[in-house]
């Protein structure tokens, strides 16, 4: 059991956005060892068919299993929506996604039953958050808004630039003038803009960060199964990073997100799995 406790958690995403989920897991579960995989060769997943997203997810899970992971987090909204149920049925390792924790948190915090969701074009067109929220609470009104420029602004290092504030205003002005009292950041890149989004939307709206909610769900899962790392085995905070392409570009971006230095990133031929 000690060996199981010190086994790593696998986290994967279609690219770099899932680093916000890994960052939150490292904050909330500071003793856990984590292996991150970014599918940078095949990003974005939003334009891919469900069959392909399931196939990609299965390949990555098989790779992570070679690292003896004890649990897996799908840190990608598209893969969480399109592949989670399929891979949960197929693999014995516990697997969770980011959509359900984010949706549940919004259902819990909304007072007036009106929730906003911001995400990529693919996420908004799929209506995934609306579907999940309505399964939990059919009476809630959900307004989804695509904000496609947020991702390139983050990835090009424009988080603090005035142009980002202008784009936030352009996209979110219509949502600010509605009655929503909770808003889900429905893309893993968006927490990196959280302070600017909060400043624009104002204090009356609760900002829901699915990365944080997912980390808390993972914490509960590990505790329930008795496999949380308590540090007794002395193996803590081992972090490994793997990608399917462009390792150096990924590493540089990771160093702007993670609260520690990312010295190396390894390339994996994921099609072999």
Residue positions annotated with a catalytic role? 76, 187
User: What is the C-alpha separation between 183 and 114, in angstroms, rounded?
Assistant: 9
Q: What distance lies between CA 243 and its chain's CA centroid?
A: 16
**Angle, alpha carbons 181-183-189 (nearest 5°):** 160
| CA 228 vs CA 29, 71, 111, 206, 236: distances in Å | 9, 10, 34, 30, 11
| CA 217 vs CA 71, 101, 104, 210, 221: distances in Å | 12, 7, 11, 10, 6
Residue 105's nearest CA partner among 202, 223, 213, 178 is 213
- The single residue listed with the structure tokens 């958050």 is 129
């Amino acid at each position: 059991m000690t060996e199981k406790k010190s086994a790593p958690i696998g986290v994967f995403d279609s690219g770099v956005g899932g680093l916000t989920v890994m960052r939150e897991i490292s904050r909330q579960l500071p003793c856990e060892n984590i292996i991150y995989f970014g599918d940078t060769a095949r990003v974005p997943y939003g334009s891919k068919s469900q069959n392909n997203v399931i196939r990609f997810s299965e390949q990555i899970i098989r790779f992570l299993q070679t690292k003896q992971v004890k649990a897996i987090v799908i840190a990608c909204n598209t893969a969480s929506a399109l592949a989670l149920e399929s891979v949960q049925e197929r693999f014995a390792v516990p697997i969770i996604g980011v959509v359900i924790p984010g949706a549940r948190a919004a259902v819990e915090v909304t007072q007036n039953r009106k929730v906003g969701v911001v995400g990529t074009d693919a996420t908004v067109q799929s209506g995934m958050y609306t579907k999940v929220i309505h399964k939990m609470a059919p009476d809630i009104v959900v307004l989804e808004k695509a904000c496609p420029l947020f991702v390139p602004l983050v990835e090009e290092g424009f988080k603090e630039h005035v142009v980002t504030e202008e784009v936030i205003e352009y996209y979110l002005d219509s949502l600010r003038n509605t009655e929503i009292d909770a808003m889900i950041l429905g893309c893993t890149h968006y927490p990196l803009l959280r302070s600017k989004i909060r400043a624009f939307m104002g204090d009356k709206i609760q900002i829901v960060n699915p990365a944080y909610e997912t980390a808390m769900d993972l914490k509960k899962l590990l505790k329930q199964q008795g496999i949380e790392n308590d540090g007794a085995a002395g193996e803590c905070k081992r972090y490994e990073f793997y990608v399917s392409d462009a390792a150096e570009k990924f590493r540089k971006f990771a160093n702007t997100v993670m609260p520690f230095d990312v010295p190396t990133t390894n390339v994996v031929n994921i099609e072999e799995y």
